[in-house]
Each structure stands twice: as C-alpha cells, then as structure tokens.
Amino acid sequence: MTHYRPPEGRPVSKHLPFGDRRDAPWYGQSIVSVRQFTRSDLEYVFGVAHEMREMVGRIGSFDLLKGKLLANLFYEPSTRTASSFMAAMQRLGGTVIPINEVHYSSVSKGESLPDTIRTLEAYADCIVLRHPQMGAAAEAARVARKPIINAGDGVGEHPTQALLDLFTIAMELGRYAPSRGLALDGLTVTMLGDLRYGRTVHSLARLLSQFGVTLNLVSPAILKMPEHIKDELDKAGVTWREADSLEAILGQSDVLYVTRVQKERFEDEATYLGVKDAYVVTPETLRGARDEMVLMHPFPRVGEISYEVDKDPRAAYFRQMENGMYVRMALLAMVLGKA
Ligand code: ASP
C-alpha cells in the first residue's frame, strides 16, 4: 500500500475526536491511485462495502460519521460520483459542503488548487476532488493535512470508480463473499471504446493487473490504451491483446466494460465525430455474448449502449451505480478512522 500521509510536521489532527481510531490502517490517508491497494486491501474495502450494503438494506442509515464533514470539490461535471459521495456521507450521518460549480467560488478569481484545498480542509474532515488535470489529486494530497479522495484527475485515474467496478464484477460473477474472499483469477475482461482518454479504464486495468486475468482492449486506432499502462500490464504479467473489432472476442468475455468517447479531451471536433459512434452495443450484439457475461459502463452513456439493452439481465450498469454508494461509504469510513 502506498501511503499518502499528510506532510511531515503537519499532523492529521492534534485533537482526535472521541472514537476515531488512529490505528485503523487507512486513517487519515488520501486515495489518489488504485496502485495504493493490495489484494488484501481490496478484500478489506469489499468487506466493509458489503457490510454497508447490508446495513442500508436493513435500516437505511446509521450515525457512524455523525459530526464529520465532507467537502465535495468538483471542477468538472459529475452526476454519479458527486451524488453517491453525498449519499454515502449522509447515510452515515455526516454532512457535505458541495462545491460543484467552481465558477461561483474563488476559483474563478484565480485561486490556486493548494489554496482552495487548504481552505476547505479548515472546515471539513475530508475532501473529494475532481479536476481536469492529471496529477491534481496527488498535488492536493501533498499539501493537505486531511484525506483527499481522487474523484477523477483528467485523463489520469478514477480510483473509486475502479473499486466499485471491481466490486461489481466480483459480486455479479459470485467471485466475492466475506467468508471466502476475492477470487478473480482466470477472468477475461473486455474493455471497449475510448481507452486512451477514459480514466476509468486506466484505473480498472491497473487494479485487474493484480489478478491472473486476460484483458482485451478494443478501441479505434487513435483511442488505444496508453503505452505506460500497457507497460504496467506487461510488468504485472497480464495477458492482454488489442483489437479494433468486438466480434471474435465477445464470446470469450466474462465482462464487457463499455466506455464513452471522451469528447471533452479532443482538440478538434472533427476527430471526435470520426470516432464517437465507433461501437454501439445493441441486443443484436449481445447475441454473441455468454449468458452469464456482465455488461458494465461507468456512465454517462451517449449512444454506446442502446436503451433496449437495459432489460437484458446481463446489463449491470444500474447495479454498478448502486454499488458505488456502498464502496464510497466504506472508503469514507476507512479514511475517517471508523472502519
Ligand atoms: N463518469 C466517468 C468519469 O468521470 C466516465 C465518463 O465520464 O465517461 O470518468
């Protein structure tokens, strides 16, 4: 586990609120990259997420994080990540400062990211940050005394999404149970769409590389998975191959993970228009897939999966969203010293 501890000489807090567990392994840690998570960390997160799911099913909410405050700082649009962090915090009895329109904050006056972070941590116990620049979350974690959770840093990573994606894969395929642990070895996962700019697939590929999986990377030629991530896959001993067509690959896939072409990362619209409809998953497409395959998408979808697919039992994307709340509840409880 890579620790993003607060900078030397700047302790997490001089006055630990009653009940916080300093000895909890993730207490006060920032979550910047999935590279911080070992297999046993993943089992730990999933165990807590599983408990959160049971708890929400039974009683809806409980006051584990009562008195805690989260700042949700979003420099880019978000529906699921922002609202699931809010829901997670509120279901655990905590409260949220939502800053999702930075134009109305001092950012529009030219305030730097470190100053904004130092300000918000004066009020809140934890900051969830989405930013258009790769490396922004790591920069924030370097200056912050309180935990920073990366909710997407440009084309870099989206670690909490990858954790909920992995949790969904494991739950859908019966590959995780608190009593048996996590068993993902042997799976074939196919990633489809914009693998170059899609940060969710960067994080998920890295997480999956800890298991003996096979990865199929299907994309238009200009949207291939970045070389540095393929190098990491090689170092981890992952079997992967690239293709531009889904046909030959779909029937061997346990998971099909579809992504949106990331319009906002293109320099010119013509190039975007040339690739935006490269792949569309329809009921017809799924005829070539296994009965037990899991179809996922981090959303928003903008045409990559047709609406008729939603009633197919393999379509797991709405369950995937719900899992996001449980996993984020687990992460908040962990970094705030309550799990
Ligand atoms: N919501 C995801 C993200 O923020 C996926 C996407 O936008 O396509 O990366």
Asked if the domains at 34-157+322-335 and 159-321 fall in one CATH topology, the answer is: yes
Q: Whose CA is nearest to atom 8 of ligand 1?
A: 260
How far is 21 from 320, CA to CA, in rounded Å? 30
Strand order through the sheet with 95-99 = 95-99, 69-74, 126-131, 148-153
Domain residue spans in the chain?
A: 34-157+322-335, 159-321
Question: What tens digit of pLDDT does each residue of 187-199 get?
Answer: 999 999 999 999 9
User: 267 C-alpha to center of ligand 1: Å?
Assistant: 18
Residue type (1 letter), 84: S
Residues in the ligand 1 pocket, defined by CB under 6 Å: 152, 158, 199-200, 260, 298
- Comparison of pLDDT for 118 and 4, the residue scoring more: 118
Indicate the pTM of the whole model. 0.94
What is the CATH T-level fold of the domain 34-157+322-335, as seen in this structure? Answer: Rossmann fold (3.40.50)
Judged against a pLDDT cut of 50, whether residue 15 lies above it is answered with: no
Dump pLDDT digits (tens) for 104-163: 777 778 899 999 999 999 999 999 999 999 999 999 999 999 999 999 999 999 999 999
Q: Judge contact between 4 and 30, C-beta under 8 A.
A: yes
- Superfamily of domain covering 159-321: Aspartate/ornithine carbamoyltransferase (3.40.50.1370)
Q: How confident is the model at residue 101 (pLDDT cuts 50, 70, 90)?
A: confident
CA 196 vs CA 57, 239, 241, 258: distances in Å: 38, 19, 15, 13
